[in-house]
Amino acid sequence: MNAKKESEDIVSGRRDFSERTERITESPIRRIARLLEEAGEKESIISFGGGAPSLAPPKDSMEHVAKKIKEESQKSVSYCSTPGSLKTRKAITKVIEKEEDVQVDPEKEITLTHGGTQGLYATLQTLLNPGQEVIVQDPEYVGYPETIKLAGGKLNRVKTTWEEDFQMTPEKVNEAITKDTEVVMIISPDNPTGRMLTDENLKGIVEIVEDEDLWLITDDIYKSIIYEDKEFTNSRHFGARENTVTCSSFSKTASIPGMRLGYTYGPKEVIKNMTRLLQYEALCIANPPQLFAQHFLREKGKYKRKYINETVVPTYKHRKDIMKEELEDKLPKAGFSEPSGAFYFFVDMNPYMEGFEDEEDLSTTLYEEEEVVVIPGGYFGNEGKNHVRFTFVSEPEERIREGITRISEFLKS
């Protein structure tokens, strides 16, 4: 580029950018974040859109952070080592050991990350080489495809439907494997469907990973938000410990998504490589979220369970029950399987699609005509056609009832 042309291009906003960033698309969820922001400001808008917890974080853990910042201001905002302070890592691994009966070496097998998002990003960057494939279920979390692409990987989607409770079975995984497959990604409870993998399917997938010598990435971000009598199973109980990397965060369970506190654990060689990457990508994570975690997880996890068991799970379970009742009552032809955890119903709207071009058209119309925000299922993969995702995390009972009533009255008319 000559200097004149370059300056013209800068003025006109036209530059050559890296192929890396040109290749990825803006997250559709970020696109509708504008609607959600509006929803937050405008009382009449009912949001079944975003996945951010609406509960206040535990008060005493927040007060602990404030106190520490006040009393030890310099130390509280200082750098720490790239994988995070050992004190925080020990607090987290102790809870994993206690609750999931899995040993993790706090010195070598875990690193803190900026939310689960950075954990997933860094894990894929660490494990994948260009052209290698990652098996994910379809529908899938909206964050996976572009993160896989950014790491040079290719998405290999395994179709699942609500009629089969969105189960990713070993048979389906086996069928999907090609010579380029490197990673299988699983998530339980899931976003956008709320389903949990059965132990049988989990065991079968772990065995395939072991037999084929693949990597298994488990996204455990919703592991503590489980309803009814279901229980979370750490996949390591079925094996493949040396092939498994887990990404998780406190965003949903401690209601602190903006603190950006996550962690990734796995074999020490993986964490060692990932830490090298994180040195240049982030240097280290902030201290205040770590102060939060140290308090939140204190007394061997006792407090954590109290907040989750007495506030988080009962609140969202109640909202889930209300949403289920309303969907069954007011949209009786819609198809869904009841979520076992997380915050979402992934609903097949096929019987209600007459007059709409597709699920995006349906969602836009519901927003414009009825001020109800739902997310088009197509954002979550090919199996999202004519589906929408309803979140029950952000609205209280009466507004859930009101929102579904508005949708059903509109669709009737």
Instruction: Please tell me the distance from the alpha carbon of residue 20 to that of residue 379, in angstroms, as a whole number.
Output: 21
- Interface with ligand PLP, residue 116, by CB under 6 A: yes
- Interface with ligand PLP, residue 111, by CB under 6 A: no
User: Taking contact as CB under 6 A, which single stretch among the options 86-94, 99-107, 111-119, 130-138 is the one that binds ligand PLP?
Assistant: 111-119
User: Taking contact as CB under 6 A, which single stretch among the options 64-72, 95-103, 113-121, 404-412 is the one that binds ligand PLP?
Assistant: 113-121
- Interface with ligand PLP, residue 191, by CB under 6 A: yes
Of the candidate residues 106, 115, 339, 378, the single one contacting ligand PLP (CB under 6 A): 115
- Interface with ligand PLP, residue 145, by CB under 6 A: no
Residues 6+ apart with CB under 8 A from 130: 152, 153
Nearer to ligand PLP, 85 or 137 (CB): 137
Enumerate the β-bridge partners of residue 185. 217
Instruction: Please tell me the distance from the alpha carbon of residue 112 to that of residue 259, in angstroms, as a whole number.
Output: 12
Of the candidate residues 127, 184, 187, 323, the single one contacting ligand PLP (CB under 6 A): 187
Closest CB 247 distance from ligand PLP, rounded Å? 7
Enumerate the β-bridge partners of residue 157. 136
Nearer to ligand PLP, 53 or 106 (CB): 53
Nearer to ligand PLP, 247 or 331 (CB): 247
Instruction: Please tell me the distance from the alpha carbon of residue 256 to that of residue 259, in angstroms, as a whole number.
Output: 5
The encoded tokens of residue 27 equal 């997250």
- Interface with ligand PLP, residue 403, by CB under 6 A: no
Would you say 349 and 336 are in contact if contact means Cβ atoms under 8 Å apart?
A: no
Closest CB 115 distance from ligand PLP, rounded Å? 3
Q: CA nearest 133: which of 215, 77, 202?
A: 215
Instruction: Please tell me the distance from the alpha carbon of residue 396 to that of residue 46, in angstroms, as a whole number.
Output: 10
Instruction: Please tell me the distance from the alpha carbon of residue 85 to that of residue 107, in angstroms, as a whole number.
Output: 10
Would you say 197 and 186 are in contact if contact means Cβ atoms under 8 Å apart?
A: yes
Which residue's Cβ has the minimum distance to ligand PLP? 115
Instruction: Please tell me the distance from the alpha carbon of residue 392 to that of residue 390, in angstroms, as a whole number.
Output: 7
Nearer to ligand PLP, 28 or 143 (CB): 143
Closest CB 394 distance from ligand PLP, rounded Å? 12
- Interface with ligand PLP, residue 262, by CB under 6 A: yes
Of the candidate residues 27, 54, 81, 117, the single one contacting ligand PLP (CB under 6 A): 117
Residues 6+ apart with CB under 8 A from 301: 94, 95, 98, 99
Instruction: Please tell me the distance from the alpha carbon of residue 45 to that of residue 26, in angstroms, as a whole number.
Output: 24
- Interface with ligand PLP, residue 51, by CB under 6 A: yes
The encoded tokens of residue 259 equal 């603190």
Of the candidate residues 48, 121, 141, 345, the single one contacting ligand PLP (CB under 6 A): 141
Would you say 57 and 65 are in contact if contact means Cβ atoms under 8 Å apart?
A: no
Closest CB 19 distance from ligand PLP, rounded Å? 26
Closest CB 92 distance from ligand PLP, rounded Å? 14
Closest CB 136 distance from ligand PLP, rounded Å? 11
Nearer to ligand PLP, 387 or 401 (CB): 387
- 387-391 and 375-376: which strand pairing? antiparallel
User: Taking contact as CB under 6 A, which single stretch among the options 112-120, 121-129, 199-207, 293-301 is the one that binds ligand PLP?
Assistant: 112-120
Q: CA nearest 100: which of 1, 188, 4, 163?
A: 188
User: Taking contact as CB under 6 A, which single stretch among the options 176-184, 249-257, 310-318, 353-361 is the one that binds ligand PLP?
Assistant: 249-257
Q: DSSP secondary-structure letter at 341?
A: B
Closest CB 60 distance from ligand PLP, rounded Å? 22
- Interface with ligand PLP, residue 251, by CB under 6 A: yes
Other C-beta atoms lying within 10 Å of the C-beta of residue 6:
11
- Interface with ligand PLP, residue 249, by CB under 6 A: yes
Tokens 């609140």 correspond to what residue?
315
- Interface with ligand PLP, residue 257, by CB under 6 A: yes
Closest CB 145 distance from ligand PLP, rounded Å? 13
Nearer to ligand PLP, 352 or 380 (CB): 380
Would you say 219 and 247 are in contact if contact means Cβ atoms under 8 Å apart?
A: yes
Tokens 């006040």 correspond to what residue?
70
Phi-psi group of 342: left, alpha or beta (phi > 0 → left; psi -120 to 50 → alpha; rest → beta): left
Binding site for ligand PLP (CB under 6 A): 51, 115-117, 141, 143, 187, 191, 219, 221, 249, 251, 257, 262
